[in-house]
């Protein structure tokens, strides 16, 4: 059994578990704790260390972390719902120094998307798979023949007819809730978004995640696309699974 520790860091909570990365199953309890107030690097690193020691005391399992930022060579290039001092921080080095283990860091939407290709709704699909999460914003992940293309940030594109307004301003689930849109009206906005992605990328499959995807029957059938579009299978565990699957294995 190939096992790694997956850790999902968010602005309000941090979740962790040991994952069997051959089949995508949690093989430990999932521990959930609140993100330290302010979400500063040193404080979050302390929590990561504590979680690792709870899950694998005195062990050496490698760690995969998903984090709410654009991540390039383990360095946070942005910061969403965490302290801005993360920007420019080598998150991997920080956590490796604190835990004494190998660590790999990936963007949170990328981790969730990779989990769907590796273990979920898009398993076995070749070509380009586009995974989007509809929530407060719109997260995105591109996976081509099983290989992650990181930091796509496709929630930030401008949609036709919406100059200076991004896709997530118009089509995120938060926009539906804020404007009290019916499923039909929201689907009209989603049609523009996914239609634009379809023209730009010609994917083999769209996978839609985020909590609202549990209600997919209310909106996905309203979309008219050439590309198949299906709901995600992994919800709260997607970040943990994807981060763990991308973690470095010990020699």
Domains of the chain: 3-108+238-245 (3.30.420.40), 121-231 (3.30.420.40)
Note whether 131 and 116 are within 8 A (CB): yes
pLDDT digits (tens, 9 = 90+) for 119-171: 999 999 999 999 999 998 999 999 999 999 999 999 999 988 776 689 999 99
Task: Say if strands 205-209 and 229-231 run parallel, antiparallel, or are unpaired.
Answer: parallel
Residue 113 to residues 36, 149, 151, Cα–Cα distance (Å): 26, 10, 11
CA angle at residue 244 from 48 to 142, to 5 degrees? 120
Model pLDDT for residues 53-108, shown as the tens digit of each residue: 999 998 999 999 999 999 999 999 999 889 999 999 999 999 999 999 999 999 99
Average pLDDT, the chain: 95
Q: What is the arithmetic mean of pLDDT over 176-184?
A: 97
Q: Parallel, antiparallel, or unpaired: how do β-strands 205-209 and 128-134 relate?
A: parallel
Q: Is the pTM of this model over 0.95?
A: no
Distances (CA, A) of 217 to 60, 130, 143, 151, 214: 44, 19, 25, 29, 8
**pLDDT number for residue 249:** 64
């Amino acid at each position: 059994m190939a096992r790694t520790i997956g850790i999902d860091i968010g602005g309000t909570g941090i979740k962790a578990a040991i994952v069997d990365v051959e089949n995508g199953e949690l093989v430990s309890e999932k521990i959930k704790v609140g993100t330290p107030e302010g979400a500063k690097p040193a404080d979050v690193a302390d929590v990561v260390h504590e979680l690792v020691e709870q899950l694998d005391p005195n062990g050496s399992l490698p760690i995969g972390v998903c984090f709410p930022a654009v991540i390039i060579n383990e360095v946070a290039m942005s910061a969403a719902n965490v302290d801005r001092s993360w920007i420019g921080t080598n998150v991997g080095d920080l956590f490796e120094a604190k835990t004494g283990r190998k660590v790999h860091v990936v963007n949170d939407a990328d981790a969730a998307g990779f989990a769907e290709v590796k273990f979920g709704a898009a398993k076995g699909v070749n070509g380009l798979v586009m995974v989007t999460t509809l929530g407060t914003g719109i997260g995105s992940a591109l996976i081509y023949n099983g290989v992650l293309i990181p930091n796509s940030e496709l929630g930030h594109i401008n949609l036709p007819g919406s100059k200076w307004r991004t896709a997530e301003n118009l089509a995120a689930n938060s926009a539906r809730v804020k404007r009290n849109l019916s499923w039909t009206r929201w689907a009209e906005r989603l049609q523009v978004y996914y239609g634009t992605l379809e023209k730009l990328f010609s994917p083999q499959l769209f996978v839609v995640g985020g909590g609202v995807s549990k209600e997919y029957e209310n909106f996905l059938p309203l979309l008219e696309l050439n590309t198949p579009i299906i709901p995600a299978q992994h919800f709260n565990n997607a970040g943990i699974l994807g981060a763990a699957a991308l973690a470095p294995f010990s020699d």
